């Protein structure tokens, strides 16, 4: 025990200050893709090499949906004009799938409230699950923000769903959603959960989560880094507070304040 205490004192605090303070992504991190239209010649090379086919050319102008992007960087590599680059921006969570509601300012910390999450693997490759596990380690420690992972949907405020919804998980996902008490939230974590990713709609996969249950928050990435997930969860926490406002703490929808 003495050795453990000695090591703890020597190591010091390792927990990040995010979201109270900015946390820079490591060198080489691939974040939100950015199109520099003044350099783009609309040659279409990036469209041809995009695995999830999220780059489009319409009316002579490129568009890119980062909710389905897997951040592979192939578009950046093939563009000789340097018109596409992957930034280090990771705060990409949004309450609208088309990304129209991007938050330029960090969500204000909400004290005195908590968020209980039931994680649902609807068919992911487990990369997102690794990041979810990281949320509970000493570096990120989401419980300091009042966010807890629970074992049952009946104890949850929000479902955190990963992966494209496989055919074998369709019924299980719907039942889990039905078992979660109102008011409830659903967060789609990762490109596959947001849009189906590279798997799309096939004989084995039904695509994004919103094709089966309502989604309140989208957290793109392949996989999203822990800070990106925290950003999305803080957005969800704010939205949950607004959902709860019209109702008394009776556990029913019918009684309004």
60 and 154 share one domain: no
Q: Mean pLDDT, to the nearest integer, of 210-215?
A: 94
Query: Domain containing 52: what range?
Result: 33-86
The domain boundary residue, chosen from 44, 68, 86: 86
100 lies in some domain:
no
218 and 147 share one domain: yes
- Using pLDDT thresholds of 50, 70 and 90, give the confidence band for residue 256: very low
Domain with residue 71: its CATH number is 3.30.70.20
Domain with residue 190: its CATH number is 3.40.50.12280
Is pLDDT above 60 for 125? yes
List the Cα angle 100/105/111 in 5-degree steps. 115
Is pLDDT above 80 for 52? yes
Compute the distance between CA of residue 251 and CA of residue 107 in angstroms, rounded to an integer. 27
107 lies in some domain:
no
150 and 236 share one domain: yes
Q: Mean pLDDT, to the nearest integer, of 115-131?
A: 93
Taking alpha carbons only, the member of 68, 6, 75 closest to residue 34 is: 75
Compute the distance between CA of residue 109 and CA of residue 143 in angstroms, rounded to an integer. 13
Q: Please say whether the beta carbons of 161 and 172 come within 8 A.
A: no
169 and 208 share one domain: yes
63 lies in some domain:
yes
198 and 131 share one domain: yes
79 and 177 share one domain: no
92 lies in some domain:
no
Q: How many domains does the chain have?
A: 2
Compute the distance between CA of residue 124 and CA of residue 82 in angstroms, rounded to an integer. 33
Q: Indicate the range of 1-10, 37-46, 55-64, 178-187 predicted with least confidence.
A: 1-10
Is pLDDT above 50 for 89? yes
What's the pLDDT at 132? 93
Q: Mean pLDDT, to the nearest integer, of 91-108?
A: 52
User: Which percentage of the chain shows pLDDT scores above 90?
Assistant: 36
- Using pLDDT thresholds of 50, 70 and 90, give the confidence band for residue 95: low
15 lies in some domain:
no
pTM of the model: 0.79
Is pLDDT above 80 for 76? yes
145 lies in some domain:
yes
162 lies in some domain:
yes
What's the pLDDT at 105? 37
Please tell me which of 65-74, 167-176, 230-239 the model is most confident about, judged by mean pLDDT: 167-176
75 and 124 share one domain: no
9 lies in some domain:
no
What's the pLDDT at 153? 94
Which residues does 222 contact at the CB level (< 8 Å), separation at least 6? 69, 70, 71, 72, 127, 190, 191, 192, 197
Compute the distance between CA of residue 235 and CA of residue 95 in angstroms, rounded to an integer. 8
Mean pLDDT of the chain: 82
144 and 39 share one domain: no
Compute the distance between CA of residue 33 and CA of residue 69 in angstroms, rounded to an integer. 9
């Amino acid at each position: 025990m003495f050795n453990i205490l000695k090591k703890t004192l020597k190591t010091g605090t390792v927990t990040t200050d995010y979201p109270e303070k900015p946390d820079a992504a490591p060198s080489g991190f691939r974040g939100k893709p950015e199109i520099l239209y003044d350099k783009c010649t609309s040659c279409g090379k990036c469209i041809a090499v995009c695995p999830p086919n999220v780059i489009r050319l319409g009316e002579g102008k490129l568009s890119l949906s980062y909710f389905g992007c897997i951040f592979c960087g192939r578009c950046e590599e093939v563009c000789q004009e340097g018109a596409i680059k992957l930034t280090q921006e990771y705060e990409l969570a949004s309450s609208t799938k088309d990304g129209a509601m991007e938050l330029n300012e960090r969500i204000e910390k909400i004290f005195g409230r908590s968020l209980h999450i039931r994680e649902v693997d609807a068919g992911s490759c487990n990369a997102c699950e690794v990041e979810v596990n990281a949320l509970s380690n000493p570096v990120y420690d989401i419980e300091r923000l009042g966010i807890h992972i629970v074992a049952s949907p009946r104890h949850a405020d929000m479902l955190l769903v990963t992966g494209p919804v496989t055919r074998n998980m369709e019924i299980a996902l719907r039942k889990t959603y039905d078992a979660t008490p109102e008011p409830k939230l659903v967060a789609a974590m990762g490109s596959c959960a947001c849009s189906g990713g590279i798997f799309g709609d096939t004989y084995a996969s039904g695509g994004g989560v919103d094709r089966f249950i309502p989604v309140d928050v989208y957290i793109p990435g392949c996989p999203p880094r822990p800070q990106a997930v925290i950003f999305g969860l803080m957005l969800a926490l704010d939205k949950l507070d607004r959902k709860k406002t019209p109702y008394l703490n009776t556990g029913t929808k019918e009684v309004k304040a």
